[in-house]
A = this chain, B = another copy of it.
Amino acid sequence: MTDGMRFAADELARLATDLLAALGVPADDAATAAAAVVQADLDGVDTHGMGRLPNYLLRLRRGIMNPAPQMAFVRRMGATAVLDADNGMGQVAAARAMREAVRLAGELGIGLVTVRGSGHFGATSYYTGIAIDAGMIGLALSNSPPAMAPHGGRAAFLGTNPIGVGVPVAGGDPIILDMATSAIARGQILKANRNGAPIPPGVAVDEAGATTTDAAAALRGALLPMAGAKGFGLALAVEVLCALLAGAAASPEIPSYFDNFERPSTIGHVMAAINIAAFVEPDAFAARAAGLIDGLHQVPPAIGSAGVRIPGERRSALRRQLLAGGVPLAPAAVAQLTQLAEELGVAPPSPIT
């Protein structure tokens, strides 16, 4: 938490929707993108929340992100489809792709939809959440600009290529994985750099390839993959699916999210939904999922640990807390959003009083 003001999630969604609509994003698309952005804040992934919105707005103003794209499914075969996002917002494209994957899975047991010509989609959990809401297992992947050195190399080449998995647990919190394939998320390094804080050892190298705990040096250098060769392998698999299979740009071809406002991102995503009912009785699945989670909670804690935490457990609790008590935003983010609201003629953010 920060010491900033707090805002109702609905008010943040209203603000984000208004700001996007003011730049020509159709109302439905603006609402979708706003929901994805606010959910990142609710999930504690504030690097992909309202603080990131000005970056998207700048892309729309510069004309490198298309506010009103002609998104189209350009190929279809059975349980698969290819969405060309026409350089629209990543949130809009990814949500549309996951909804289509859910529809295909409803008919054919599984749906796999690739996306090309897209932009940064934020946290994966909004998209796997669409599958969870449909009672399905969801998978969300994306490639991203070069940020991470391959295992054995010293320079950034692949992105931090995230993997998201969502599993519905009837009567309980869903299982939600939302992880970069790097040892640390790039957003964490950006945050450390802003705060003048060090980064943990072993997660990044400087420009010369030496490991560093200096955030600024790491940003000029490269992140390292999680678990060495294994994380590199997973990042490469994500790259193959999101770039080569989707027909999108590969990581090395993607312009920086933060330093390049001249070219569209042209990145790729993969969204998959799995229809549980095609495989087992959903009630049996739900009961066994609850039993598996109970069993994990009963494992004796590691030395120095408070015990096993199921992936998604913390974010579900935080979501409830922030929905009830409001989302804290840092003063700098509030000031930037207030100024953008003024420039674009929309109502400024109104905090909880």
Which of A's residues lie within 8 Å of B, judged by CB?
75, 77-80, 82, 107-110, 112, 114, 137, 149-155, 157, 163, 165, 167, 175, 177, 179, 183, 205, 209-210, 226-227, 229-234, 236-237, 239-241, 243-247, 250, 252, 274-276, 278-280, 284-285, 288-289, 291-292, 295-296, 299-303, 305-311
CB-CB under 8 A from A114, the residues of chain B are 279
Partner of A299, one of B153, B227, B250, B276: B153
Contact present for B247 and A280 (CB under 8 Å): yes
**B77–A299 touching, CB < 8 Å:** no
* Smallest beta-carbon distance A206→chain B, Å: 11
The CA-CA distance from A126 to B301 in the complex, in Å, is: 37
Q: A79-B108, A229-B309, A247-B284 are in contact. List 20 more A-B contacts (CB 8 A).
A: A75-B278, A75-B279, A78-B79, A78-B278, A80-B109, A137-B245, A149-B299, A150-B308, A151-B302, A152-B309, A153-B296, A154-B303, A163-B234, A177-B233, A183-B227, A205-B302, A241-B274, A244-B285, A246-B280, A250-B292
User: How many chain copies?
Assistant: 2
Tell me, in angstroms, the Cα distance from A79 to B306 when the chains sit together.
Answer: 42
* Cβ 8 A contact of A244, one of B231, B233, B288, B296: B288
A157 neighbours in B (Cβ, 8 Å): 295-296, 299
CA gap between A300 and B107 in the complex, in Å? 48
Q: Are B247 and A153 in contact (CB under 8 A)?
A: no
Q: A137-B245, A240-B175, A244-B280 are in contact. Are A308 and B153 (CB under 8 A)?
A: yes
4 closest A-B pairs by beta carbon, nearest first, are: A78-B108, A80-B109, A153-B299, A77-B278
Given A110-B112, A112-B110, verify A167-B237 contact (CB < 8 Å). yes
A175 contact set on B, CB distance < 8 A:
236-237, 240
